Amino acid sequence: MAYYDGVIKADAPVAWWPLTDAAGAGTLVDSSGGGHAATNHGLTLGETQSPIAGDTTAFNGGTTYAVSTYLPNGLTAASVEAWIYATSSPAIQYAVSSGVNTTDAGIGLYFQNATALCRIGNGTTLGNPSHANALVDNVWQYWCYTWDGAHVLSYLNGSQLGTSVALTGTIPAAGSTYLVTQSTTTNTFQGYVAQPAIYNKALTAAQVTAHYQAAINPPPSGAYASGVGLSPYWARGAAENHFAHRARTAGSLGRRPW
């Protein structure tokens, strides 16, 4: 997990909740350094393990959530990411909702039935890529959406999905930032969420891939120095045995929580 943390920190999120807080914690730490801790309203912490070694997750059964002081007001570029494990696919469910309201504003990562969607809005228009049947229940998936001020791109497990959707403008002042729901108990996510983060810039394709690889193919312990500026790519010759040890990764992406 230390390696994954280093990769994320190097890309400077403006809000990042690893959700590795102790079970029963009332406050969820913002590891971005921005001071946007989230208040926990009943989320179950430490429920299961994500594909990130040593990581734990928050579980929402439908009536719990967390809310943060972070707002995306004024952003002209942004990215949102999270690891998710859906246990069912209701009509609409949000993993992250930042400044989202009914006037097409804010940043959201959400799903409608099995369709994956992104909600980045300038107050009048949504940049909303849609990917039918992309959400798979009972499987860990890494989702990321990026907006460079002109186009919104979608990524699943480090690879781009489809084509971009045009969007310009500025995210207006609106709403609050909620984790594992849209607002309090509206459109809550059914399942597990890990490592949600928001950026005030568009992550590059290489950065998105690096975040995914940092989780599923980290270097063996001792093969890197902790801290920022790390790359998830490392010499194969020094780590072939490690890949055998990490063979469980494939299973971890499709296993049921324990």
| Tens-place pLDDT, residues 167-208 | 999 998 777 888 877 776 677 788 888 999 999 999 999 999
The mean pLDDT value for 210-225 works out to 80
pLDDT, averaged across the chain: 81
What does the pLDDT average to over 94-115? 81
Residue 50: its pLDDT value, please? 87
Q: What is the token pair recorded at 71?
A: 């707002």
The phi, psi pair for 180, rounded to 5°, reads 70, 25
pLDDT score for 198? 94
Which has the higher per-residue pLDDT, 189 or 4? 4
Give me the residue label for tokens 């004024």.
Answer: 74
pLDDT at 221: 67
pLDDT computed for residue 254 by the predictor: 55
Q: What is the spatial distance between Cα 10 and Cα 227, in angstroms, rounded to a whole number? A: 8
| 117-149 pLDDT tens trace | 888 888 888 888 888 878 888 999 999 999 999
Q: Which residues lie below 8 Å from residue 251, measured CB to CB, with a gap of 6+?
A: none
pLDDT per residue over 21-30, tens digit each?
A: 988 899 999 9
Interatomic CA distance for residues 96 and 66, integer angstroms: 10
Pairwise pLDDT comparison (233 vs 168), residue with the higher score:
168
CB distance 81 to 197 below 8 Å: yes
φ, ψ of residue 241 in degrees (nearest 5): -65, -30
Using one digit for the tens of pLDDT, what is the confidence trace for 35-66? 999 999 888 888 788 888 778 787 776 678 88
pLDDT at 170: 93
Radius of gyration of the chain from its Cα atoms, rounded to whole angstroms: 17
Residue 244: pLDDT band with limits 50, 70, 90: very low
Would you state the pLDDT for residue 13?
A: 97
Ordered by where they begin, the domains of the chain are 2-254 (2.60.120.200)
pLDDT digits (tens, 9 = 90+) for 77-93: 999 999 988 887 767 88
Per-residue confidence (pLDDT) for residue 236, from 0 to 100: 34
Q: Which residue has the higher pLDDT, 151 or 50?
A: 151
Nearest-5° Cα angle at 70, 40 to 85 = 55
Which residues, in sequence order, are CB contacts of 255 under 8 Å at separation 6+? none
